[in-house]
Amino acid sequence: MSASVAALSAKPTSVRLFPVDLAFARIARNFVHATVSDWGLLEAADCARLIASELVTNAVLAWVAEGADREDRFKVAVSLEPDFLVIGVWDRSRKGIRMSCPDETDEHGRGLLIVRELAAAVGMTRGDFDTKCVWAKLALEDC
């Protein structure tokens, strides 16, 4: 763990809401990268951005397929735990997470496989009001 992580006394968390639109995926992943960089975790920033990109894309595609409204928002949270950076994306899609085994020629289906390779843990938690959070824990020692 870097000295900058040890210097952070409280459990830092940063949260933002974004419209359910793929155009906001770039803004969401840049939010994660900027947050992690601001915390002095430069070695984890690129990995965190890639994980956020995959989680956000999956959330938006699933929610849009189920009929998201223009007013709907997905939530992205980044938090720091001892030895881990946690990235979570909340949406209202009823779909759970599913690891797929795409063929060589498939254009989709690799996002969670990428996240699983980069993260120490990946999971889903059901929340209030039909929400779910798909999250990934990135081990800081692996960055």
The band of 120, judged by pLDDT with boundaries at 50, 70 and 90, is very high
Tell me which of 14-18, 55-59, 91-95 is least confident.
91-95
Mean pLDDT of the chain, nearest integer: 85
- 75 within 8 A of 16, measured Cβ to Cβ: yes
Q: Based on the structure, what is the number of domains in the chain?
A: 1
Exposure letters 48-61 (e unless 16+ CB within 10 A, then b): bbbbbbbbbbbbbb
pTM of the model: 0.83
E runs forming strands in 1-143: 13-19, 73-81, 84-91, 121-126, 132-139
Q: What is the mean pLDDT of residues 71-85?
A: 94
> What residue numbers bound the domain in which 109 lies?
3-142
Residue 66's domain is classified under what CATH number? 3.30.565.10
